[in-house]
Amino acid sequence: MNNDLRDSLKLWAGAIVFGALFWIFARSDVLRGAVDSVPGKWFWLGFGALGVWNMGKLIWGLWQRRASRDN
């Protein structure tokens, strides 16, 4: 088994485990209790920070891709 196949299988297994755990937590209302205890301002601040982080990573990746083409 080559490394690409092994890494792919690990990613698939991890995604399935993560999805199963998320489904279990969502069905048992653990997530609802955790989200309800967070103030709304902090909740949206966290989502905004994640959005800014992802946009920064996207722009940085596009910039690096552009810079690598010039060579």
pLDDT digits (tens, 9 = 90+) for 23-65: 888 788 777 777 778 788 888 899 999 999 999 999 999 999 8
Reading the block at residue 60, the tokens are: 């940085």
Helical H runs in the chain? 3-27, 30-36, 40-69
Locate the domains of the chain by residue range.
1-37, 39-71
Q: What is the pTM of this model?
A: 0.49
User: 35: which residues sit within 8 A by CB, 6+ positions away?
Assistant: 43
